[in-house]
Chain A
Amino acid sequence: MSQNATPALKEWPLWEVFIRSKQGLEHKHCGSLHASDAQHALQMARDVYTRRQEGVSIWVVPSATIAASEPGDKGEFFDPAADKIYRHPTFYEIPDAVGHM
């Protein structure tokens, strides 16, 4: 059982790439790429997505580990929120000092 090394993958798995553009901002999804492992994915993301100073930090996440909502669930997931305008706290007076919220 353990005498066989892991067989080489024919296809490199897919990774999602997240870049933080500067300190204090959140990482944002910017694309995806195929790579053989996490280290490999990081280096490729560096070469592909940060050539024009787009980032100060990179995350890569195996796409297979992301659980996503189904497009078919759109109706029951998201549509019921459409007519609940009272959930937006638009009736508060925001003091000028608070600035942009």
Chain B
Amino acid sequence: MGAQATTATAAAPLDYLLHLADNALILGQRNAEWCGHGPILEEDLALANNSLDLIGQARLLYQYAAQIKGNGATEDTLAYFRDVPDFRNYTLLELPHRAPLAATVAGDRDYATTIVRNFLYSALMALLWERLQGSPDAHLAAIAAKSLKEVRYHLRHSRDWLVRFGDGTDESHARAQSALDHLMPYTQEFWTASAHETAACQAGAGVDAGELRTDWNTLVDSALAEATLKRPSDKGYVTQGKHGVHSEHLGFVLAEMQSLARAHPQATW
């Protein structure tokens, strides 16, 4: 891996960029599943906007990662020609939009699950991008500044719906609470640094997410209080998605997302 790609004093390690990029791409792909199926037209557009923001962030990060990786890598080879164990996204982001069910059961998508996940992740990224704006890796700092504006809106949108669901009807409250109970344990993965996160921090380019935990708790707790939802325990098994050990769901996401590019490599339109 050559360091010729950037003049920044502290370039982010490749795996760290892939972790950030994969997070954005996988959640973007998941949220795009609502396109044409949103509960109302305005939310259909809101989720498509959210997806395109995330996929845009992923592209910038993959382009930068491809520069560092060299060897003919492009944003497309990184997105479409890596397999499940190479992906470094949080497990939280690859889960289907519904309460826990076995792998291929085609349940109805649950908008409360979508909203709770977007809220938990956006709350983290609003804090993380804010810190990464000051990264000495100038390229990463520029991506962070652009992404921060987008994620602040994602946070606002998902928080708003979270409060409406929680403080809404009996059914919307129950569904929001059940989505929260299901997803909260996956957030433990945010706080234990992986080797590539540690390396990025040591290089000075990354941010130790563990340092953001108190602020994240404040954001989450204030929204949950307003939504009259109970914060569930976030103890138990810590998922390992960012280490490349994924749930059974990521394979299905990649199969759908990558099949076209793999069937027609080099295709352009």
Q: Which residues of A contact B (CB under 8 A)?
A: 8, 33-36, 39-40, 43-44, 46-48, 51
A43 and B43 CA atoms in complex are apart in Å by 10
A36 and B42 CA atoms in complex are apart in Å by 12
Looking at B27-35, B121-129, B156-164, B253-261, the stretch in contact with chain A turns out to be: B156-164
Nearest CB in chain A: distance from B109 CB, A: 19
A30 and B160 CA atoms in complex are apart in Å by 24
Q: Are B160 and A51 within 8 A (Cβ)? A: no
How many B residues, CB 8 Å from partner?
13
Q: Are B168 and A51 within 8 A (Cβ)? A: no
Q: Are B42 and A44 within 8 A (Cβ)? A: yes
Contact of A36 with B164 at beta-carbon distance under 8 Å, contacts A8-B169, A43-B156, A43-B157 already known? yes
A72 and B143 CA atoms in complex are apart in Å by 57
- 22 A-B pairs whose Cβ atoms sit less than 8 Å apart in the complex: A8-B168, A8-B169, A33-B42, A35-B42, A36-B164, A40-B160, A40-B164, A43-B46, A43-B156, A43-B157, A43-B160, A44-B42, A46-B153, A47-B42, A47-B45, A47-B46, A47-B49, A47-B157, A48-B41, A48-B42, A48-B45, A51-B49
Q: For B160, give its contact among A33, A34, A39 (CB under 8 Å).
A: A39
Q: Map CB proximity to A onto B39-72 as digits: 1 under 8 Å, 0 otherwise.
A: 0111001100100000000000000000000000
A8 and B173 CA atoms in complex are apart in Å by 14
A33 and B49 CA atoms in complex are apart in Å by 18
**Cβ of A43: which chain B residues have Cβ within 8 Å of it?**
46, 156-157, 160
Nearest chain-A residue to B169 (Cβ)?
Answer: A8
**Cβ of A39: which chain B residues have Cβ within 8 Å of it?**
160
